[in-house]
């Protein structure tokens, strides 16, 4: 059965849409549950470029799909104490621009999109081994095993037009509860986290349709070495499973079973400034974006006494 290009490309949208789909599949964040003194502020700017191929639902006549995405993210985090435990609340606002191209029924198709992406808010709380400490107390502490929990919420604030197949915004809510465990081993550290993305519905999907998506489980593993305070190198590995979508009740063959690996390096610059460099690429990609990503972050910390 022949498929019109406009309808065939619809099957790719859930994979190559530049907002949450790409960001969630690519994220690997070592030291996400590392302790900080309370009453500390962090402001950061991150620039990330993702480039690579996209593997769509194999049942549709779409080939040679590729995407190049640039994102600039502006974030702020504040640490504080909750019941004697260290906690933090952060917000991130992305600006996204990118190009998606491919052959739909042997017809070349390409689109460009740019604009604000979906806002992300994250609350994290130390459960074990993360007491709320002042800067002076924090400097004297001995690192120990810690267990933390977080809740990340993505709000549909990004640019979205229902008449477009590819958008910057996702036009749906998403939440991710997660547990993270960190174990110091002298100058070495090992971390793992387990989370699951739960997605809301998009009732204004292309063509007046309704799109739903199953939960997507994420596991991260990190191992690294501390050269000195603030200067560390980590190897990163992540696995994702699930996330099959449905459009108007019709199930797509887009269940993810993917893995990625990468490196992250943090460098202190003095006076509260630091930089972080991150690189990652796909290890196994069954369906979805097989991207190579390169990112640079500049961070400023202040306020803790």
pLDDT tens by residue, 202-241: 999 888 889 999 999 999 999 999 999 899 999 999 999 9
What integer pLDDT is reported at residue 252 of this predicted model? Answer: 83
Listing DSSP states for 11-40 in one string gives HHHHHH-TTHHHHHHH---TTTT----SS-
Mean pLDDT, the chain, as a whole number? 87
Q: How far, in Å, CA of 141 to CA of 130, rounded?
A: 10
Is the pLDDT assigned to residue 44 strictly greater than 80? yes
Take residue 212 and report the two structure tokens written for it: 């739903």
What integer pLDDT is reported at residue 28 of this predicted model? Answer: 82
Tokens 């549709």 label which residue?
60
Residue 201 binned pLDDT confidence (cut-offs 50, 70, 90): very high
pTM (2 d.p.): 0.88
Phi, psi of 14 (to 5 degrees): -60, -20
Question: Taking Cα atoms as reference points, which of 52, 96, 72 lies closest to residue 282?
Answer: 52
What integer pLDDT is reported at residue 126 of this predicted model? Answer: 96
Tokens 């991710």 label which residue?
176
What integer pLDDT is reported at residue 278 of this predicted model? Answer: 96
**126 touches 85 (CB < 8 A):** yes
Is the pLDDT assigned to residue 19 strictly greater than 60? no
> Which residues have CB under 8 Å from 293's CB, separation 6+?
26, 48, 49, 50, 51, 262, 278, 279, 280, 281
Q: pLDDT tens digits, residue range 92-127? A: 999 999 888 877 666 677 888 899 999 999 999 999
């Amino acid at each position: 059965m022949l498929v019109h290009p406009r309808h065939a490309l619809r099957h790719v949208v859930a994979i190559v849409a530049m907002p949450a789909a790409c960001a969630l599949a690519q994220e690997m964040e070592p030291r996400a549950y590392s302790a900080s003194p309370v009453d500390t502020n962090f402001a950061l700017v991150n620039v990330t470029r993702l480039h690579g191929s996209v593997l769509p639902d194999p049942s549709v006549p779409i080939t040679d799909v590729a995407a190049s995405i640039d994102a600039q993210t502006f974030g702020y985090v504040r640490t504080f104490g909750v019941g004697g435990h260290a906690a933090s609340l952060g917000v991130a606002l992305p600006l996204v621009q990118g190009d998606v191209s491919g052959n739909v029924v042997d017809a070349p198709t390409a689109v460009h999109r740019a604009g604000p992406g979906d806002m992300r808010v994250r609350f994290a709380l130390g459960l074990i081994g993360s007491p709320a400490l002042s800067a002076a107390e924090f400097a004297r502490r001995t690192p120990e095993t810690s267990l933390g929990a977080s809740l990340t919420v993505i709000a549909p604030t990004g640019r979205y037009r229902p008449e477009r197949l590819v958008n910057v915004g996702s036009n749906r809510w998403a939440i991710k509860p997660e547990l993270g465990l960190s174990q110091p081993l002298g100058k070495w550290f090992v971390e793992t986290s387990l989370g699951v993305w739960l997605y809301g519905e998009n009732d204004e999907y292309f063509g007046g349709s309704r799109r739903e998506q199953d939960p997507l489980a994420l596991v991260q593993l990190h191992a690294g070495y501390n050269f000195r305070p603030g200067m560390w190198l980590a190897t990163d590995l992540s696995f994702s499973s699930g996330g099959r979508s449905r459009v108007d009740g019709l199930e797509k063959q887009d269940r993810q079973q993917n893995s990625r690996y990468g490196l992250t390096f943090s460098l202190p610059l003095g006076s509260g400034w630091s930089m972080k460099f991150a690189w990652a690429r796909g290890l196994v990609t069954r369906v979805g974006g097989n991207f190579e990503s390169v990112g640079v972050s500049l961070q400023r910390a202040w306020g803790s006494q």
